[in-house]
Structure 1
Amino acid sequence: MSFTDVCSVSDVPSDAGLRIDTGPEAVAVFKIDGDFYAIEDKCPHGDWSLSDGYLDDGLIECSLHMAKFCVKTGKVCAPPAIRDVKVFPIKVVGDRVLIDLEPEAGI
């Protein structure tokens, strides 16, 4: 794994996603109860940014067609999407957020 420093812990809101454009594809970073998660920032159904969606109870809802995904696992939780989103390994070192930009398969 090769982690890339992408932002400060304070850059990530608690009630929304943060789009990161470092690397070959955009990544959406979320903070839930102090834990950080990173998924691909593209809804597989409508090619829409998930970081602009609605975060509720660990699920991100695409603002275009209302598909829902678990930000912890990348699993699709509500249609119309039928494909999971990629999950990226993430860690916090000091006050910095680091992401391995090689995605894992959905858990």
Structure 2
Amino acid sequence: MEFHKIARSGQIPEGVVRRFFAGEVEIAVSRSDGEVHATSNYCSHLDCLLSSGKVTDEGLLCSCHGSVFDYGSGEPLCPPATRPITVFPVREEDGHVHVGIDAELAESAMRRRAVGARRLGDPAS
């Protein structure tokens, strides 16, 4: 697994969610209780941007329909989402945030619920 420097620590203040990229991988990065969390940026319910969501005591709240995801596992804690989001390992060192990404995590994070009218798994997608 390769760790990518994606931000300065100060760019991720307590209680804020921000969007960053590691190559083509779009990541929602947040800080809760001093700990930095990194997940895929798309809600597993309807692909809403999690970087537009909110940090809560329970987890990352999607602003579109109110799903909440566990910071550690990515599991949905509150409907309507029923599938987990991708969670990345994070290191915070020397004033920078590093996110661990391998091919499997990258593929999982870039998988979207729908592409236009097609769904993943359809031959044309």
What is the CA–CA distance in structure 2 between the aligned matches of 1:56 and 1:49, rounded to whole Å?
Answer: 16
Check conservation: 1:48, 1:64, Cα contact below 8 A: yes
What is the CA–CA distance in structure 2 between the aligned matches of 1:85 and 1:93, rounded to whole Å?
Answer: 25
TM-score (norm 2): 0.77
Matched, 1:45 2:69: no
Q: Secondary structure at the match of 1:100?
A: strand
Shift of 1:75: 1.0
Q: Secondary structure at the match of 1:51?
A: helix
Shift of 1:21: 2.0
Task: Please list every run of 5 or more consecutive structure 2 residues that lacks an aligned counterpart in the other structure.
Answer: 109-125
Shift of 1:37: 1.1
What is the CA–CA distance in structure 1 between the aligned matches of 2:35 and 2:76, rounded to whole Å?
Answer: 20
Task: Please list every run of 5 or more consecutive structure 1 residues that lacks an aligned counterpart in the other structure.
Answer: none
- The structure 1 segments of at least 4 consecutive aligned residues displaced by more than 3 Å after TM superposition are none
String of CA shifts for 1:60-87, please: whole Å, max 9, x gaps.
Answer: 1111111110122211101111100001
Aligned residues: 105
Output the amino acid matched with 1:80. Answer: P
Deviation larger for 31-40 or 80-89: 31-40
TM-score (norm 1): 0.89
| Bigger radius of gyration | 2
String of CA shifts for 1:14-69, please: whole Å, max 9, x gaps.
Answer: 11211112223211111122211111110011111111112110411111111110
Shift of 1:93: 1.4
Identity %: 29
- Root mean square deviation of aligned Cα: 1.7
